Amino acid sequence: MMGPGALISAAPSSWAMLFTLVSANIGVKDIALAASDSRNLKVMAKKADEAAALMRSLSHGARLKVLCELSAGEKSVGELVELSGLSQSALSQHLARLREENLVATRREAQTIYYSVADPKVLKLVRLLYELYCGK
């Protein structure tokens, strides 16, 4: 019988890095140990649900691109429209979803609204995905 650790060690290094980053950020240090302890199964299930919810939020290319742009620093809505290539209406819908899920924070300066990544876990994950898929 193969344990969870064997699957990860057999995975390509990029998947292993992503798994390590996500598992470290969701608070599960040793998946095999957590699974063997029935008290930790509930904790592991909760953390897995949290990670899955985050992945669902990142699963749309436009939202991921917006978060990539924001990983470089705070941007105004106008800047994000220009950088993303989305209409202001479409961008607003994606930003609303990211706000609802507390993944971005806002700051108002006069009539301009600025967005930034609110969650350090999201920032780490987006930067890792950028490194893996965009080559930097």
Do 40 and 68 fall within a single domain? Answer: no
Final residue of a domain: which of 41, 58, 75?
58
Is 51 found in the same domain as 16? yes
pLDDT in tens, the chain (136 residues): 333 333 334 444 455 555 555 555 555 455 555 555 666 888 888 889 999 999 998 999 999 999 999 999 999 999 999 999 999 999 999 999 999 999 999 999 999 999 999 999 999 999 999 899 887 5
Residues 53 and 87 both lie in one domain: no
How many domains are contained in the chain? 2
How many CB atoms within 10 Å of residue 87?
Answer: 10
Owning domain of residue 49: 4-58
Residues in the chain, how many? 136
CATH of the domain at 105: 1.10.10.10
**69 in the same domain as 120:** yes
Q: Looking at the structure, do residues 16 and 78 belong to the same domain, yes or no?
A: no
70 and 47: one domain? no
At 30 the pLDDT is 56
Block residue for tokens 């209409």: 87
Closest CA to 68 of 101, 107, 117: 117
Q: Are residues 53 and 66 in the same domain?
A: no
Whether 95 and 42 map to the same domain: the answer is no
Same domain, 129 and 74: yes
Task: Give 99's contacts (C-beta < 8 A, 6+ positions apart).
Answer: 106
The encoded tokens of residue 54 equal: 């985050």
d(CA 22, CA 14): 12
Whether residue 69 is found in the same domain as residue 54:
no
- The verdict on 65 and 129 lying in the same domain is yes
